[in-house]
Structure 1
Amino acid sequence: MAQARRIGEQGRYELIEEIESGGMGTVWRGYDAVLDREIAVKLIRPDVVASPAQAKEFTRRFEREARVTARIGHHGVPQVFDAVLDEASYDRLYLVMEYVRGVSLRRVLTGAEDGAAVGLPVSWAASIAAQICTVLSYAHAIPVVHRDLKPDNVLIAADGTVKVLDFGIAKLLRTDVTRLTATGNRIGTSRYMPPEQIDGAQITPLSDLYALGCVLYELLAGEPVFSGDNDYQLMHQHMNVPPTPLRAPRPEVPEDLEALTLDLLAKAPEQRPADAYAVYERLSPHLPQPGSAADCVTLTDSGSPAAVPDPTVVYRQPNAPLRRTTTPAPSPEPTVPGPVPARVDTALRDAIRDAYARSADLAERGRFVQAADVLKAAIATAATALGQHNPRVLGLRGQRAAVLMAGEDFRRALPEFDALAAVYARTEGPSSDSALECRRHAAHCRANLGQATAALREFQEVLEVVSDTDGDASETALDLRRSIGVLLFSEGRRTEAEGVLDALHEDMCVLLGEDHEETREIADLLARLHRPEGSGPY
């Protein structure tokens, strides 16, 4: 396995894979070894630094993004965790940022099954635009103008939160900010650029509102407001051509929403809405109400539909709890894979062995998130080659679930244990050791997630099977009985807990001895149970 690149003091930040590359730099997915979390790292591309002046420009751009993002302080902007801005050493010029899992708005617009010609549902368009307005209102209060608002710089996170990205060319108003281009080229993207930005006139928060109008138009119409063949044509249209009213390509767009979009696209800044808050207020009637049903949008990717994170959920279910973990449906029976060539099989076997070793090393150092992700990557590779239910693939999945549980990420471990239990029950039988072990771990996860009733039921069902086959005194049975007694104790069901733990203590005295550590632990629990309630710990 290739050695991952590390940067930062003592190699704190590990770069795993490049996820984006632009003219100025690259963005990597990585890990913070100290805090055991995924991060995004923005790096300067050394090959684009042609002069000291350019190095200074890129340093300022990174510095601006870090400082502006920190000052905005809103969840709609990815947080900057660290910034290293040493222009004298280009390989040590980087930003460490929040890694956001989600879908680019550009991809939604180009890949939505129902969005290529008719745009997104009105509730989606309004929700996305309203969330952008909220971010802009925070930025404009500094005051900062983004200057490059476009679908490529908007992300819908997995929870439906809209994130506005790349404040690297933002302009801090009422300050002496040097232009970021030595050649004098316009900054921004011509398809979304307001007339005053094209004309080199004063940039204000109203300039961002024009770009927002371009985005909102595209969300609703399914096509850009202007579609010139080149930058010159696009800029000419923004300067001189009135936009086609939205209800021409899409008659079902509400009249007031069409009027808002055209107001945002006014050529003169003073003819646009007063500020982002005014835009938000005009969008409000089109936002979904709490408790309303969701619209669904899917993407097509190589013929496979995939759901898009729903940006309306923040309005339909404001401040909602984390979604409940549900038991996944049983996977379809796998097709029997063909024979794997010896060379490929050896390479795969080595990759699996390396994944186990690397994951174990990371887990030993308390980096459970990264340890689980190492196994996840190996699972994807092995499942493609061997099939989802191959024993080696199932072994990797079980190890990943165990790592998640060890890292106390019970929410992610639970559905994996449930899925594995279903597979083993189908392939090896519901009483197999593998199925019962997965169910036992799933019960532990449920107990730690506060699902005490379901956890007790599962512990007891597994215990019945284990007792029938191995008796009440087997190692597994003793562990299950202990789990049941402790859970009853923690739930305040003292009488039931005492009955379970008394019988368990008697068996442990015989099997392990009175002085064994585990026997003394149960004795201590019983002593606490025998004390009157409210009598204190002693």
Structure 2
Amino acid sequence: MGQTRRIADRYELSALPMPGGMGLVWEGYDIVLDRPVAIKQIRVEKARTPAELAVLVGRFRREARVTARIEHPGVPAVYDAAIDQNADSPDEAAELYVVMQLIQGMDLRDILAEQGPLPVEWAVAVAAQVCSVLSYAHAVPVVHRDLKPSNIMIDSSGAVKVLDFGVASALGTDTAQLTETGRPVGTRDYMAPEQFLGVGVSPRSDLYALGCVLYEMLAGRRVFSGTGDAALRHVHDSPEPLRSLRPDVPVELERLVLDLLEKNPDDRPTDAHAVHDWLVPHLPSLGSGTAPRGPSGLADPTLPYRTPLAPKSRPAVRAVPGPGRPAPPAALSDALVQEGEEEAVRLFEEGRFTQAAHVLEELLDQADPLDPRLSETRRIHAGVLLAGEDFRRALGAFRHLAAEATDGSDLREYRQHIALCLATLGEHEQALEEYRSLLPDAPHAEVVTLRQKIADLLLALHRASEAADLLRSLVSELPPEHPAAVRSRELLNRIRLAGGATE
């Protein structure tokens, strides 16, 4: 499982970093709130003197605060800005980190590389969602400065997330001593002419970059590709009309893209609101059931417009191969399985349920699902999910365990957990059926508890008369001071006050 590094005595860097625009992006874990996070490490080596470092730290703090003010679901939430100083080497420069919401999805750069041009409705839906984000950011005001496909992600619900807000600004062109001489912040293939020339960046510079992204989504290629410096071509050359590359692009949409790509900022649309208004006629209507055919295996970015605020998809249940279904070879050693289970138990005992479940899921994903060594791993995994109150996934995990159980006492335990999960998730009828099926063979010590749970579920189902009958039987059978008898009398009084049957 390896040794993890901790910063600010709170965040663990739990996965290998990926390169980001201004440093490294780690997948991490917040040990206080028991949740995964994304951690961006800002490159402090750009500061060559203590004075430059002090400026950078001040700008870093300010920009992290400004970014946190962009309260929009399309911007990953900023949780913290951490400055990590090595206590053993106080003379070393502190490292700067932004701790953010971890987004699971696929970035637009990879989608375009794998799929090529997108359906018109998909491209419009992505651009419209980006416009919504930009309208909030520009009101702060924050200018992104580096909008491009790799900074746009589509998550599993089709929602678009705009990444890397504010980090580019923290090392912006207004701090020339912190950038390479003459090199503006941004990416040359998506950079507005005024940004490249260093004559002022504004919200309309972001709109130019959005035009580049929309052009690429529709054409399947960048605005200026091939030979020559892309940034210089953005300054001097006119883009090839979209409809000459893709005739099915509506005339009005091509006009919008070309307006966004105007060299003079004043000739572009006024703001992100205006761009969104242009896009609205090309978006799918509310409640339209037929989705445009798009790349298979990818989340549909038109979903937020066709079915806004739709419920979150139910989590996938971890599959167990049946007869005749090939299973992958077991590649895990006994030592690795033991190490993973011990690490998960340690995290569990520290109350770090999310991280414990992740450790076990890594084991289960690598191994043969039929490997008998993993039965205990699956049992621990189910228990971790239950303790972490992830009842939906715990329900699926315990159902799998119950289906495979050969020991009667284990099966009873799993079925009790199944009933608990069902009751907690509001599936009262199913929970009631499960508890009642456990009652005939229940050990004497469990009978009273099961009857109490059945009474509670009957009340939840507004079957007060049946609940009262069961509660009265508990009162009559148990000593008056028994906790179950005391609680049963209290419930009977409540039923009476509510006008239910108690006689």
Aligned to 2:398: 417
Do 1:80 and 1:95's aligned partners in 2 also have CA atoms closer than 8 Å? yes
Do the aligned partners of residues 459 and 252 (structure 1) sit closer, same or farther apart at CA in structure 2, a change above 3 Å counting?
Answer: farther
Do the aligned partners of residues 329 and 141 (structure 1) sit closer, same or farther apart at CA in structure 2, a change above 3 Å counting?
Answer: same
Aligned to 1:13: 11
When normalised by structure 1's length, the TM-score is: 0.81
Aligned to 2:288: 292
Indicate which of 247, 271, 284 corresponds to 1:275: 271
Indicate which of 175, 178, 185 corresponds to 1:178: 175
Answering whether residue 440 of structure 2 is matched by residue 443 of structure 1, we say no
Do 1:5 and 1:16's aligned partners in 2 also have CA atoms closer than 8 Å? yes
User: Aligned equivalents of 2:435 and 2:222: distance in 1?
Assistant: 58
Aligned to 1:244: 240
Deviates more, 1:211-220 or 1:477-486: 477-486
Indicate which of 144, 149, 156 corresponds to 1:151: 149
Aligned to 1:403: 384
Q: Secondary structure of the equivalent of 1:144?
A: coil
Deviation at 1:149, TM superposition (A): 0.4
- Residue correspondences, number: 489
Deviation at 1:201, TM superposition (A): 2.2
Deviates more, 1:443-452 or 1:493-502: 493-502
Deviation at 1:435, TM superposition (A): 5.4
Do 1:102 and 1:155's aligned partners in 2 also have CA atoms closer than 8 Å? yes
Deviation at 1:46, TM superposition (A): 6.5
Q: Secondary structure of the equivalent of 1:404?
A: helix
Do 2:21 and 2:164's aligned partners in 1 also have CA atoms closer than 8 Å? no
Over residues 395-435 of structure 1, what are the superposed CA-to-partner deviations in whole Å (9 max), with x where a residue is unaligned? 3223212211112121232233334445x27xx5xx96655
Do 2:173 and 2:184's aligned partners in 1 also have CA atoms closer than 8 Å? no
Deviation at 1:292, TM superposition (A): 1.9
User: Aligned equivalents of 2:397 and 2:294: distance in 1?
Assistant: 27
Do 1:27 and 1:43's aligned partners in 2 also have CA atoms closer than 8 Å? yes
User: Aligned equivalents of 1:405 and 1:130: distance in 2?
Assistant: 40
Q: Secondary structure of the equivalent of 2:482?
A: helix
Aligned to 1:303: none
Aligned to 1:302: none
Aligned to 2:303: 313
* Aligned pairs (5 A) from 1:487-502: 487-501=457-471
Aligned to 1:526: 488
Q: What letter is aligned with 1:312?
A: T
Deviation at 1:476, TM superposition (A): 6.1
Q: What letter is aligned with 1:484?
A: I
* Aligned pairs (5 A) from 1:129-528: 129-168=127-166, 170-171=168-169, 177-179=174-176, 180-229=178-227, 232-293=228-289, 294-295=291-292, 297-298=294-295, 307-324=297-314, 331-333=321-323, 334-335=325-326, 348-381=333-366, 383=367, 387-422=368-403, 424=404, 437-460=413-436, 462-463=437-438, 467=440, 471-473=441-443, 480-501=450-471, 514=479, 520-528=482-490
**Where do 5+ consecutive residues of structure 1 fail to align?**
300-306
User: Aligned equivalents of 1:98 and 1:437: distance in 2?
Assistant: 36
Deviation at 1:214, TM superposition (A): 0.6
* Aligned pairs (5 A) from 1:59-70: 59=57, 62-63=60-61, 65-70=63-68
User: Aligned equivalents of 2:408 and 2:217: distance in 1?
Assistant: 53
Q: Secondary structure of the equivalent of 2:242?
A: coil
Over residues 118-171 of structure 1, what are the superposed CA-to-partner deviations in whole Å (9 max), with x where a residue is unaligned? x11222211111111111111222332211100111112233321111124555
Q: Secondary structure of the equivalent of 2:243?
A: coil
User: Aligned equivalents of 1:321 and 1:500: distance in 2?
Assistant: 37
User: Aligned equivalents of 2:361 and 2:173: distance in 1?
Assistant: 49
Do the aligned partners of residues 380 and 178 (structure 1) sit closer, same or farther apart at CA in structure 2, a change above 3 Å counting?
Answer: same
User: Aligned equivalents of 1:297 and 1:506: distance in 2?
Assistant: 66
User: Aligned equivalents of 2:319 and 2:292: distance in 1?
Assistant: 23
User: Aligned equivalents of 1:378 and 1:121: distance in 2?
Assistant: 38
Answering whether residue 104 of structure 2 is matched by residue 101 of structure 1, we say yes
Q: Secondary structure of the equivalent of 1:125?
A: helix
**Where do 5+ consecutive residues of structure 2 fail to align?**
86-90, 499-503
Q: What letter is aligned with 2:215?
A: Y
Do 1:388 and 1:394's aligned partners in 2 also have CA atoms closer than 8 Å? no
Deviation at 1:437, TM superposition (A): 4.3
Deviation at 1:211, TM superposition (A): 0.4
User: Aligned equivalents of 2:58 and 2:239: distance in 1?
Assistant: 36
Deviates more, 1:49-58 or 1:194-203: 49-58
Taking only aligned residues, the RMSD between alpha carbons, in angstroms, comes to 3.2
